[in-house]
């Protein structure tokens, strides 16, 4: 399953929440495919009577214990990344630098550690119009460690299908993973090329290529 039938939907619907979460089988696919298909989808969080939402415009794929940039490469199922071994569509949230929460959607099949990091959002009704970077995504959306291990498919935190025509997509190496050696060069970061909300560091990535 992909994010939606774009032919039936127009750009004018982009500010509307449809209150339908993407189902588990959306996430139970190859992680690169999920990372691409999440672009243009809507991240929604209903909390304490308030709703926050934004359009996903940048993602990164992390795939298996062999991927040296993936948390599963260090510690296995008993370590930091144990939630990555959960059912597809599970929320994996972790803390970096002791201050920034980062949101991931677990992918593929239970027992295989893979996930998509949500790196940036376009904010329809926010003061700045963008959450550019995974820490800012969680700060704006009100996401913290309490979401770790919950389901994206049936709760207050969810991802809804794309309700606008797909926009141009580009791909390139992931950000901040130089320690991963050759794995750092995998073109597993995806973004909407016409979005100003994408992380500014992507403009410094010379290896980026238009995704087909």
Indicate if the pLDDT at residue 210 is higher than 60.
Answer: no
Give this prediction's pTM: 0.86
Residue 207 pLDDT: 40
Which one, of 128, 135, 118, 11, lies nearest residue 58 by Cα?
118
Angle (nearest 5°) at CA 110 between 59 and 113: 50
Q: Is 185 a domain residue?
A: yes
Structure tokens at 175: 């950000």
Residue 178 pLDDT: 87
Indicate if the pLDDT at residue 164 is higher than 80.
Answer: yes
Residue 121 pLDDT: 97
Percent of the chain topping pLDDT 70:
84
pLDDT in tens, 177-205: 888 988 989 999 999 999 999 986 544 44
Q: Is 121 a domain residue?
A: yes
Residue 8 vs residues 13, 94, 168, 169: alpha-carbon distances, Å:
11, 37, 18, 20
Residue 14 pLDDT: 44
Measured between alpha carbons, how far is 203 from 94 in angstroms, rounded to an integer? 26
Q: Is 103 a domain residue?
A: yes
Structure tokens at 96: 């970096």
Q: Which domain holds residue 37?
A: 18-196
Give strand pairing partners of 191. Answer: 58, 170
Concatenated DSSP letters of 136-182: HHHHHHT--GGGTT-BTTSSSEEEEPP-SPPPPEEEEPPSS-GGGGG
CATH number of the domain encompassing residue 106: 3.10.300.10
pLDDT in tens, 112-130: 999 999 999 999 776 678 9
Q: Is 4 a domain residue?
A: no
Q: Is 23 a domain residue?
A: yes
Which one, of 169, 162, 9, 21, lies nearest residue 88 by Cα?
21
pLDDT in tens, 18-77: 789 999 999 999 999 999 999 999 999 998 889 999 999 999 999 998 997 898 888 788
Q: Is 210 a domain residue?
A: no
Indicate if the pLDDT at residue 90 is higher than 60.
Answer: yes
Return the residue matching tokens 């926010």. Answer: 126
Indicate if the pLDDT at residue 106 is higher than 80.
Answer: yes
Domain count, the chain: 1
Q: Is 150 a domain residue?
A: yes
Q: Is 204 a domain residue?
A: no
């Amino acid at each position: 399953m992909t994010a939606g039938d774009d032919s039936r939907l127009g750009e004018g619907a982009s500010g509307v929440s449809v209150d339908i979460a993407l189902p588990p089988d959306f996430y139970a696919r190859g992680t690169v495919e999920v990372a691409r298909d999440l672009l243009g989808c809507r991240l929604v969080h209903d909390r304490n009577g308030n709703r926050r939402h934004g359009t996903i415009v940048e993602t990164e794929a992390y795939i298996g214990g062999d991927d040296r940039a993936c948390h599963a490469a260090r510690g296995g199922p008993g370590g930091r990344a144990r939630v990555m071994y959960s059912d597809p569509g599970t929320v994996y949230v972790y803390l970096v630098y002791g201050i920034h929460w980062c949101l991931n959607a677990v992918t593929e099949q239970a027992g295989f550690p893979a996930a998509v990091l949500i790196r940036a959002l376009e904010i329809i009704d926010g003061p700045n119009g963008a959450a550019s970077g995974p820490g800012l995504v969680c700060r704006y959306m009100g996401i913290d460690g309490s979401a770790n291990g919950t389901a994206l498919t049936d709760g207050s935190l969810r991802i809804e299908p794309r309700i606008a025509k797909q926009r141009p997509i580009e791909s390139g190496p992931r950000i901040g993973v130089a320690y991963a050696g050759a794995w750092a060069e995998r073109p597993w970061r995806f973004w909407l090329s016409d979005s100003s909300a994408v992380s500014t560091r992507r403009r410094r990535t010379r290896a980026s290529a238009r995704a087909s």
